[in-house]
Structure 1
Amino acid sequence: MMEVRPITSEELSSAIDLKVRCWQEELAGIMDHELSFAQELSFFAEWAESEKEYEDRRILLGAFQNGKLLGAAFGSFAELEDAENAMELNGLWVEEEYRGKGISLSLLKALIREYLDLGRDKMVVYSHHFAPSNQYYRKLHGEMIRQEKQLDGQLLVDVFLHPLNLLDRKLSEMVLKHGEEIDEP
């Protein structure tokens, strides 16, 4: 049985390893840009620990089965210039061999429930325009509020806004279709 729960500091390196491995796939051949595991681990360890300093709530969840990390989702409060009273999806990654089994849906649902409980009502997602995951956020009926260029103008990024209550309902329906049994955090 899969369990969705907070990632411990000891498990963070597994989640960052997954992020780094998924990065080139997300770039979809548009450009070559390597991530450093050490730099990413250092950044996210500091990021997770500094939430109070920035008056933020940073949540890192993992989907585990028999102690193995199958996927991870990171969230935080969104910047006000993106949307008021919103959370931002900072990352959602699933091991390739476990995709299509509802893991990303379960992770996302658990993450947005945490932010709904904190009074947030929208989710902001930055997704590379040509990334395979871009269609995932479109399928969830997010409104694309703008496009911007990142990495020195080389990477076009779509910025989506999702109402959390509607997204929570849609994810519930989709999780039921997959028949996943989850222990939520």
Structure 2
Amino acid sequence: MSAIEIRPLSEAELEIGLFRSFNRYQKVTRCYRKVNGSWILKDIPFIEDWGQEEYAYLTRCLKNTVKTGGTVLGAFEKETLVGFASLENEFFGTGSKYLQLSSLHVSYEKRGMGIGRQLLALIADHAKNCGAEKLYISAHSSEETQHFYRSLGCVEAEEYNEKLTAEEPFDCQLEYTL
């Protein structure tokens, strides 16, 4: 694997063409669901594979993140985007201790190489420098995604962000202490 360069992305760079080689494929077989107050794994097979519409929406969201004072980091191998993460700029929760990690994705063929861990570490450092105590993560409920976040020390959020929970009711609401 070539060296990975991680750097902030400007609003101008956040065009759909940036994602032309990015592969947001995931074969999901099991997902976590909260049943009677406990998280259990259920067989919920599906394929997630983003197309032009999803990348166009993503581009609009990431542009808005930068426009509103948030941060978007891109991980590049040579000139190719292989991962990205975004941090929103709006504090929330009791004592305004949370900042939201709104996205963290690594291209399919580059997963398991530590790129996601690097992105999370850099975003966490940035959030801490901004005064946050915790990252809030509304994360995909797939077994693999949850294993990734929990292996880094994420736990179920003490406080749920009702807006994010309503937008993605099957996501697991996590936090990461900075």
CA RMSD, Structure 1 to Structure 2 (Å): 3.2
> Which letter maps to 1:4?
I
| Corresponding residue for residue 8 of structure 1 | 10
> Once the 2 structures are TM-superposed, how far is the Cα of residue 142 of structure 1 from its aligned partner?
1.9
Post-superposition Cα deviations, 1:63-114, rounded to whole Å, max 9, x if no partner, equal: 1121111110111145524773222111111111111111111111111111
Q: Supply the AA of the counterpart residue of 2:111.
A: R
Q: Which amino acid counterpart does residue 75 of structure 1 have in structure 2?
A: L
The amino acid across from 1:129 in the alignment is S
What is the number of equivalent residue pairs in this alignment? 154
Task: Tell me the TM-score normalized by structure 2.
Answer: 0.69
Partner of 1:178: none
- 2:78 counterpart of 1:66: yes
How far residue 38 of structure 1 moved from its aligned partner, in angstroms, is 2.6
What is the CA distance between 1:15 and its match in structure 2? 5.7
CA–CA separation in structure 2 for the residues paired with 1:63 and 1:74: 12
Q: Whose helix fraction is larger, Structure 1's or Structure 2's?
A: 1
- The aligned runs of 1:15-94 (5 Å cut-off) are 21-22=23-24, 25=27, 29=45, 36=53, 37-49=55-67, 51=68, 57-77=69-89, 80-81=92-93, 84-94=96-106
- TM-score between both structures, scaled by the size of structure 1: 0.67
Tell me the SS of whatever aligns to 1:62: strand
Letter in 1 for 2:171: V
Q: Comparing both structures, which one devotes a greater share of its residues to strand?
A: 2
* Greater Cα shift, 102-111 or 138-147: 138-147
User: Counterparts of 2:94 and 2:64 in 1: how far apart (Å)?
Assistant: 23
**For residues 149 and 45 of structure 1, do their structure 2 counterparts lie closer, same or farther at Cα, with a shift above 3 Å needed?**
closer
Structure 1 stretch displaced more, 2-11 or 107-116: 2-11
Structure 2 residues not aligned, in runs of 5+: 32-43
Are the equivalent residues in 2 in contact too, given 1:149–1:156 (CA < 8 A)?
no
Q: Could you list the structure 1 runs, at least 4 aligned residues long, displaced by more than 6 angstroms after superposition.
A: 31-35
CA shift in 2, pair 1:126/1:14, >3 Å: farther
Aligned counterparts of 1:85 and 1:43: Cα–Cα separation in 2: 23
Does 2:115 correspond to 1:103?
yes
- 1-structure distance, mates of 2:79, 2:48: 33
Residue aligned with 2:153, SS: coil
Aligned match for 2:175, one of 134, 155, 161: 161
Alignment of 1:146-185 (within 5 A): 148=165, 150=167, 155-164=169-178
Structure 1 segments unaligned to the other structure (5+ residues): 52-56, 165-185
By relative contact order (CA 8 Å, sep 6+), the higher-ranking structure is 1
Query: What is the aligned counterpart of 1:143 among 148, 155, 168?
Result: 155
